[in-house]
Amino acid sequence: MTAATAQAGTPDDDLDALLAIATDLVRHASDMALDPIGHLHLDGLQIDTKSDRNDLVTAVDRGIEDYMANELTARTGYGILGEEGHTIDSFAGRVWVLDPIDGTMNYVQTHRDYAISLALCQDGVPLIGIVADVVGAHLYTAIRGRGARCDGRLLPRVERDRGYRDSVLITDLKEIRALPRLMACLEESRGHRRYGSAALECVEVACARAGGFVHMWVSPWDIAAATVICQETGAVVTRLDGTPLDVRHKGSILAGSPQTHRELLQRLMADPR
């Protein structure tokens, strides 16, 4: 597919072809993450820090992003925004949004619960979402308006009427400290989990393994792909205050089944009881 052909297409006419291209690349990138010596010819992970000592980046992150950027640009002609340095002038038209390894601390320390997250956005709206649970060997995909899938099987819709008291909730220590009402919700819920990869945590909501996900600060590459996967299973995704989530900008996220989302929004933002 040439750049001219891709740019001339309507939002729906070539999404299957684009998903196939992106899926093949994400699968290869997963192999690179699992065997960086064989695929990237690295002598160690070459771990560096960014904003603080727990904000890690490795040569594998950079190598996967370079590979994906080169291939996606060559095959589709679209620009790419990546966590590790690839930038765009604007979100006008179609843009790929990539996190080469979402959960780098897990990649380095626990060797599980990390993902490759790739979205195709049209004027800032995710059309395609792909999240690879690399170690779990599951591939989650979605095309806007056409449902979400895990390993090719259509995911069922989340339960509309299941509230947070009957659900597991996903959040982090900093959210609990900043939002005192959240602690009460966690105590009333089925339990609290944290995985260390926002993309995988959103997917837990999409698959109804968790009722809700609360995070105060995510970047476009963290949630662009997972947002459309959640929405295609009927989950609601907004900012923490209930305003629309624009994946072009950093900010908070509240994702949940419809009833859980309503209840958490009410408890956290409006009614302390």
Q: What is the CATH number of the domain that holds 170?
A: 3.40.190.80
| Same domain for 143 and 194 | no
Provide the pLDDT for residue 42.
72
Q: In this structure, what CATH number is given to the domain that contains residue 106?
A: 3.30.540.10
- What confidence tens digit (pLDDT) does each residue in 88-134 have? 999 999 999 999 999 999 999 999 999 999 999 999 999 999 999 99
Q: Is residue 149 part of a domain?
A: yes
Number of residues that make up the chain: 273
Of 120, 154, 188, the residue at which a domain comes to its end is 154
Say if residue 186 is in the same domain as residue 251: yes
Span 1-45, pLDDT tens digits: 444 444 444 445 599 999 999 999 999 999 999 998 777 777 667
Say if 194 falls within a structural domain.
yes
pLDDT in tens, 182-230: 999 999 999 999 999 999 999 999 999 999 999 999 999 999 999 999 9
Selection from 256, 24, 33 nearest residue 139 by Cα:
24
Give me the chain's average pLDDT, please: 91
| Percent of the chain surpassing pLDDT 90 | 80
Residue 272's pLDDT band, with cuts at 50, 70 and 90, is low
Q: Which domain holds residue 85?
A: 3-154
Please answer whether residues 42 and 65 qualify as being in contact, where contact means their C-beta atoms are separated by less than 8 angstroms.
no
pLDDT for residue 59 is more than 90 = no
Distance CA 167, CA 26 (A): 31
How far, in whole angstroms, is CA 33 from its chain's centroid?
17
User: Residue 263's pLDDT is what?
Assistant: 97
